[in-house]
């Protein structure tokens, strides 16, 4: 019996393609691929920057020096905290309104016909065009910036809530009705758990978009936040400062995305 098994294993190994990597090597290669891509991007950036003056395209080392300088003196940390204080509340408000709107749309064809055209039409207006109106109506305080972030994240979260709820099998609803489940029991034992993956996927998208909304509001007039840092660098032709602000924004958006991803893993488990 053992001899037969060994022959089968040898035959299986012989049937594998000659150039195929070991599974452990494939896993290791997949893990370092993002790092290799980042190194290739930085190298290409450095080579291209050699052909231009620093105020047009500074090299990655110049940007890194400016980034470290602003981190050490606390400038970027302070302005990042201010931008986060606008983006995170905007994400929460937009998520709450998105769920409150998406749930009745998914449950009622009448509400769907009433609200869906307005929601779709609202996406035809660029949010950067609405931002000046919000600043005129609500002033230049944090409330207008939070509201703008909420508008930006509202649509993707609403759509994901609708898709998640409508993907539930009608047979499951029939099962809950046959057991005389209340609306609340159906909601928190069936609908919410079933739609949670789609809702959290919408939150991941909304988390990155909330940073865009916060920066758009800061570009229009403020003396604090990452948008102010980028605007200040542009006005001074300090291109390394502009790129340092952009890098900080991207890193912050990735942190928001990663935090929601960790939350998703905990909740889904």
Give 244-259 pLDDT, tens digit per residue: 999 999 999 999 999 9
Q: In this model, does residue 217 exceed pLDDT 90?
A: no
pLDDT band at residue 84, thresholds of 50, 70 and 90?
Answer: very high
What pLDDT shows up at residue 12? Answer: 47
| Mean pLDDT over the full length of the chain | 83
Residue 32 has pLDDT above 80, yes or no: no
Residue 143: name the closest of 93, 202, 196 by CA: 93
Q: Report the distance separating Cα 89 and Cα 142, nearest Å.
A: 10
Please report, rounded to a whole number, the percentage of residues in the chain having pLDDT higher than 90. Answer: 18
Distance CA 191, CA 172 (A): 10
Worst-scoring range by mean pLDDT, 22-26, 79-83, 141-145, 163-167? 22-26
Pick 8 or 143 by higher pLDDT.
143
| Domains, in order of start, for the chain | 61-268 (1.10.3720.10)
Across 59-73, 131-145, 182-196, 212-226, least confident range: 131-145
Burial of 247 (0-12, 13-18, 19+ CB in 10 A): middle
Given a cut of 60, is residue 15 above it in pLDDT? Answer: no
pTM of the predicted protein model: 0.79
Query: Rounded mean pLDDT of 40-54?
Result: 86
Residue 236 pLDDT greater than 90, yes or no = no
Instruction: Give CA–CA dist 44/38, Å, rounded.
Output: 10
* C-alpha–C-alpha distance, residues 228 and 220, integer Å: 9
Question: How many angstroms separate the Cα of 248 from the Cα of each of 77, 202, 262?
Answer: 9, 23, 21
- Section 134-140 average pLDDT: 76
Predicted local confidence at residue 21, as pLDDT: 61
Mean pLDDT, residues 113-117: 85
The better pLDDT of the pair 31, 145 is held by 145
Phi/psi region, residue 139 (left: phi>0; alpha: psi -120 to 50; beta: rest), is: left
User: What's the first-to-final CA gap in the chain, in angstroms?
Assistant: 41
Contact residues for 244 (Cβ-Cβ < 8 A; gap 6+): 63, 66, 67, 70, 76, 229, 233
Report percent pLDDT > 70 for the chain: 90
Greater confidence, 1 or 190? 190
Question: DSSP letter at 108?
Answer: -
Q: What is the distance between the alpha carbons of residues 99 and 198, in angstroms, rounded to a whole number? A: 12
pLDDT computed for residue 19 by the predictor: 52
Q: What is the pLDDT of residue 249?
A: 92
CA-to-CA distance for 189 and 196, rounded, in angstroms?
11
Question: What integer is the mean pLDDT of 76-94?
Answer: 92
> Which pLDDT belongs to residue 247?
92
Region 50-67: mean pLDDT is 86
| pLDDT of 93 strictly over 90 | yes
């Amino acid at each position: 019996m053992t001899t037969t098994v060994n022959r089968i294993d040898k035959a299986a190994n012989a049937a594998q393609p000659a150039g195929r990597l070991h599974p452990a090597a494939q896993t290791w290669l997949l893990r370092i691929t993002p790092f290799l891509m980042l190194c290739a991007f930085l190298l290409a950036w450095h080579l291209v920057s050699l052909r231009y003056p620093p105020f047009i395209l500074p090299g990655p080392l110049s940007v890194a020096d400016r980034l470290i300088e602003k981190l050490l003196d606390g400038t970027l940390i302070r302005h990042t905290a201010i931008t986060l204080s606008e983006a995170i509340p905007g994400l929460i408000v937009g998520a709450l309104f998105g769920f409150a709107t998406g749930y009745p749309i998914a449950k009622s064809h009448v509400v769907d016909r009433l609200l869906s055209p307005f929601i779709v039409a609202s996406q035809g207006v660029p949010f950067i065009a609405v931002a000046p109106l919000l600043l005129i109506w609500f002033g230049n305080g944090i409330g207008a910036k939070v509201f703008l972030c909420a508008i930006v994240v509202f649509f993707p979260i609403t759509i994901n809530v609708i898709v998640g709820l409508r993907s539930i099998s009608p047979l499951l609803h029939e099962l809950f009705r046959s057991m005389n489940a209340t609306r609340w029991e159906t909601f928190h034992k069936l609908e919410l758990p079933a739609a949670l993956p789609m809702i959290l996927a919408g939150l991941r998208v909304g988390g990155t978009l909330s940073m865009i909304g916060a920066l758009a509001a800061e570009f229009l007039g403020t003396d604090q936040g990452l948008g102010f840092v980028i605007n200040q660098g542009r006005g001074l032709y300090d291109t390394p400062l502009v790129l340092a602000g952009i890098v900080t924004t991207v890193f912050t958006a990735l942190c928001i995305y990663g935090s929601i991803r960790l939350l998703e893993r905990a909740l889904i488990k």
